[in-house]
A and B are shown apart, each in its own frame.
Chain A
Amino acid sequence: MGSARSNESKNHAWMFLFLCWVVTLVATAGSLFFSEVMHFPPCVLCWYQRICMYPLVFIYFAGLFPLNRSVLRFTVPLLFTGWIMALYHILVYHGVIPESLTPCTEGVSCAAVFFEWFGFISIPVLSFTAFTVLLILSFCFKVEVSKYEK
């Protein structure tokens, strides 16, 4: 009975990690679509978020086969940094923080609006959503892992 439950938790943990991988994959493909297909030039803050997002595709993949419990040690620092960057980007984008105080004085403005779906889904909002979902999934993963570790 105990082992069956631990197996179930293990499967759940794998599922959450797999979902993380899918989210990073979609986010990576999406951001490459904006820059390479639609030719939106990425601004400085976008690059910082990309730095945090792109490696996750490989790290999560490596953590799936075989399931590695310590994968969070490598992913959470990246997730957290990306999340902060995305939050900051949203504040710049919506004018809460004036752009002159940001590192985007040259090149593409971080507050440049390329598109807004339904009036509020912008590129920084998409990025922030992805990082937030990943943090939540990581938490779920942690919970499942702690169940079968005991």
Chain B
Amino acid sequence: MKNKKLVIFISLFIVVAGFIGAKKLYEKSLVQKMEFLASDNFNTFVRDYSPVLGSPDAKVYITEFLDPECESCRAVYPAVKEIMKEFEGKVKLVVRYAPFHGNSVMAVRILEAARAQGKYWEALELLFEKQPEWGDHHNPRPSLIWTYLPTIGIDVERLQKDMENPIILTRLQRDVEDGRMLDVRQTPTFFVNGKPLTSFGIPQLRSLVKDQVEQTTYQ
């Protein structure tokens, strides 16, 4: 009987230790893969057409794959802005899209068309703010977006014309492909100068940004 208990204990230990070990290995290989991609082709993380927030001189890029219809993206947005403020002038935010929801593509087209009117960030904040209404999972009402846009001074008629621009979908497709390359399976997914945020959370993101800012200032 004693032997049996020992056997049980050892097998349990092996499985649990194997799980933890495999997790560490997997995360390490992921970081290495991203490092390789970052050194080989940084464009995968930062495309020249992407919306950028922050100082043009900043050396630290926060790449965020987001979806305007995703609740977590809405929830972390204020925290991301706070981090941007804390490291003002040293970091910039690059928005990439990962459209995982039903009306995401439409929302992205609206955002990109708002960009033509110089209202991109206002529109993004507006869509996040009103997301519980237009992007409700049980009863999405994307047509409500038309009623919000004039409140931030957007010419809706012009926007609806700009939305049809085929370049928007071409770029979105590029974002989706890059996302696939970078194993983006959930939103939001963050990379800081090509380093993946392996454990999701605001404090973790802040410390990753802080590390990169320190590294680039001492160089």
Contacts and interface: CB of A to CB of B under 8 A. Distances in A.
B4 A14 contact: yes
B182 to A, nearest CB: 12
A37 B23 contact: yes
Interface in B201-216: none
A38 B12 CA distance: 22
Contact of A64 (B4, B16, B19, B186): B4
Contact of B15 (A25, A39, A64): A25
A149 B63 CA distance: 66
B22 A37 contact: yes
Contacts of A33: 19, 22-23
Nearest to B183: A39
B8 A64 contact: yes
Which size class do B's interface residues fall under? Answer: 10 to 19
Contacts of B23: 33, 37
Interface string A24-46: 01100100110001111100000
Contacts of A88: none
B4 A25 contact: no
A18 interface: yes
A32 B15 CA distance: 12
Given A18-B7, A25-B11, A64-B8, A37 B26 contact: yes
Contacts of B15: 22, 25-26, 29
B4 A38 contact: no
Nearest to A36: B23
B141 interface: no
Contacts of A65: 4-5
Contacts of B186: 39
A63 B70 CA distance: 45
Contacts of B11: 18, 21-22, 25
B18 interface: yes
A71 B22 CA distance: 32
Contacts of B158: none
Nearest to B100: A41
A18 B8 contact: yes
Interface of B: 4-5, 7-8, 11-12, 15-16, 18-19, 22-23, 26-27, 183, 185-186
Interface of A: 14, 18, 21-22, 25-26, 29, 32-33, 37-41, 61, 64-65
Given A25-B12, A33-B22, 7 more contacts: A14-B4, A21-B8, A25-B15, A29-B18, A29-B19, A39-B183, A64-B4
